[in-house]
A = this chain, B = another copy of it.
């Protein structure tokens, strides 16, 4: 049997001991990071979630304690009572590096097999092995730091919203599946064989009902689920900071959220964000950055060349303009050394891969700029172009001529690529901005119909209501995204509370009365009994934590993540279940799947 803590109480966490505890008797406990012997001395680095402290054993140590210390190996779990003393050779790299604990009593609380990989941040162990032994991977200081930071985010979030009168109200996880819920996880019911619940993709319906019920301000850190093939960085379950406010208009919500991110970054990161946050309309964001989630940590904004090249000699440009498109460019300052012809060829491939027909460029290396379309333009025309682009020697311009829905996103993507190549993106800078006035409808080419870009309860801008029947494409929504360093971290909107207008919106979306009833019956009904004007937002906690931790993957900010195919490598789930269990649920496996 291993020893126990009986009669021994930890007095300090390992990482907190300094010279101010000198000569104090302390009790510490933790995992053995490493042991070493030095002549007649033995040292053990003991690790807990706060850091590492050095345990020392010398000539004055009782023989049995010394022998016990010598028997310890990596990841053994120990408790030690001893006296803090100043070290002879100090280690400036760690906070406890000036002291050590001269141990008088040592207990081996648990022995450990040699782990399949060393517990250290300097690891190049394969992800699969790390995830299979996640409980060991979670011992690494960098992941422990991430978990602590995530905890701090949750705490700061609740503190802020609670202080602002938001109530946390838990909404159901077992809810109604909607006919269209292609991404719903379904849950068969033992009590009702053949019937199913769905796990929530979000608490959207419930939080709107809570406003109808007069709860006024709601917040929930809610687990949400999406059953789909996972893209590179998605988890089938994720956590949403979900909120809703009554008796407000859009600006009230944006103000509240700005206060939140300001509080969050001050409390968790010690960073003072300048308020108010910048606001761009969707249109402006697309025209300047070619993206509705622009990374504004660097410039390189898109320049509209349409007027400059109108009537020029280059048919690709004039053709695009005649077809109602535009000619636009980005300019890489001092980029000529990096953006060689070969590099530009690669960018051209990238541009073509996302829909461009080609990529024109001006590259100014020597005295005069060289240009992919030199022979089609007069010197004057080229000079005008260079002037419009503000180019100087050393610069490179990349130009796309096409419809706006090609030029803008293609240049937006190239901007990000080139920004990285030129190392223009400062780390540890946090650029928030709002994107507002999203288009309400999107034309779905496949289905030949307008579809809502947001959920169908999103409120249009009042001034756009007249276009609902005549020009759906011109209707903008009271919807807003919060973007941080090029990542969308929040999405929200004002909601429709007017029954008549809601019916009209459904009509514009081509929904029949039956579809409405099946999908949203009780919610639509609820609004008949009075509802305050309300709106809200949802922030992705995992993504926020990832950006704030500077992590490369969601897996580094989730304690027990799943991999890309939605399975968990430690417990190996999902897994087959007993036929008997399925029988009770009124379901069976399809024979084609049994093989």
Query: Which positions in A face B, CB cutoff 8 Å?
Result: 1-2, 4-6, 9-10, 29-31, 47-49, 75-77, 79, 109-113, 115, 133-136, 138-139, 144, 147-148, 150-151, 154-155, 158, 162, 167-177, 179, 181-182, 184-199, 206, 209-210, 212-216, 223, 225, 227-230, 236-237, 239, 246-249, 252, 462, 465, 497-498, 500-501, 522, 526-533, 558-560, 562, 565-568, 570-578, 581-583, 585-590, 593-594
Query: Do residues B571 and A175 form an inter-chain contact, with CB atoms below 8 A?
Result: yes
Query: Do residues A177 and B575 form an inter-chain contact, with CB atoms below 8 A?
Result: yes
Query: Do residues B5 and A249 form an inter-chain contact, with CB atoms below 8 A?
Result: yes
Chain B residues within an 8 Å CB radius of A565: 191-192
CA distance A219 to B154 in the complex (A): 13
Chain B residues within an 8 Å CB radius of A177: 573-575, 577, 581
Query: Do residues B176 and A136 form an inter-chain contact, with CB atoms below 8 A?
Result: no
Query: Do residues B531 and A195 form an inter-chain contact, with CB atoms below 8 A?
Result: no
Query: Do residues B576 and A252 form an inter-chain contact, with CB atoms below 8 A?
Result: no
Query: Do residues A135 and B526 form an inter-chain contact, with CB atoms below 8 A?
Result: yes
Return the contact of A194 from the options B31, B158, B593 (Cβ within 8 A).
Answer: B593
Q: Which residue of B lies closest to A224 (CB)?
A: B173
Known: A47-B214, A162-B155, A530-B31. A2 touches B587 (CB 8 A): no
Query: Do residues B583 and A590 form an inter-chain contact, with CB atoms below 8 A?
Result: yes
CA distance A10 to B187 in the complex (A): 43
Known: A172-B568, A577-B177. A113 touches B529 (CB 8 A): yes
Closest chain B CB from A79 CB (angstroms): 7
Closest chain B CB from A540 CB (angstroms): 13
Known: A171-B559, A577-B196, A589-B587. A209 touches B135 (CB 8 A): yes
CA distance A156 to B23 in the complex (A): 38
Query: Do residues B135 and A194 form an inter-chain contact, with CB atoms below 8 A?
Result: no
Chain B residues within an 8 Å CB radius of A10: 247
Chain B residues within an 8 Å CB radius of A173: 173, 199, 223, 225, 237
Q: Which residue of B lies closest to A177 (CB)?
A: B577
Q: Which residue of B lies closest to A138 (CB)?
A: B213
Query: Do residues B227 and A189 form an inter-chain contact, with CB atoms below 8 A?
Result: yes
CA distance A571 to B197 in the complex (A): 11
Known: A49-B215, A135-B209, A565-B191. A530 touches B171 (CB 8 A): no
Chain B residues within an 8 Å CB radius of A225: 173-174
> Which 7 A/B pairs are nearest by Cβ-Cβ distance?
A112-B530, A138-B213, A176-B573, A195-B574, A176-B571, A586-B593, A194-B593
Chain B residues within an 8 Å CB radius of A110: 497-498, 527, 530-533
Return the contact of A574 from the options B111, B168, B189, B589 (Cβ within 8 A).
Answer: B189
Query: Do residues B588 and A590 form an inter-chain contact, with CB atoms below 8 A?
Result: yes
Chain B residues within an 8 Å CB radius of A9: 252
Chain B residues within an 8 Å CB radius of A462: 4
Query: Do residues B590 and A590 form an inter-chain contact, with CB atoms below 8 A?
Result: no
Return the contact of A571 from the options B4, B47, B522, B566 (Cβ within 8 A).
Answer: B522
Known: A136-B529, A144-B215, A171-B559. A186 touches B188 (CB 8 A): yes
Query: Do residues A138 and B210 form an inter-chain contact, with CB atoms below 8 A?
Result: yes
Known: A154-B168, A191-B229, A214-B48. A572 touches B186 (CB 8 A): no
Chain B residues within an 8 Å CB radius of A136: 213, 529
Return the contact of A568 from the options B31, B77, B176 (Cβ within 8 A).
Answer: B176
Query: Do residues A197 and B167 form an inter-chain contact, with CB atoms below 8 A?
Result: no
Known: A210-B138, A213-B139. A193 touches B593 (CB 8 A): yes
Closest chain B CB from A528 CB (angstroms): 5
Chain B residues within an 8 Å CB radius of A194: 576, 589-590, 593-594
CA distance A577 to B206 in the complex (A): 21
Known: A49-B215, A587-B589. A239 touches B170 (CB 8 A): yes
Chain B residues within an 8 Å CB radius of A184: 581
Please indicate which of the listed interface residues A2, A169, A195, A197 has the most CB atoms of chain B within 10 Å of its own CB.
A197
Closest chain B CB from A301 CB (angstroms): 33
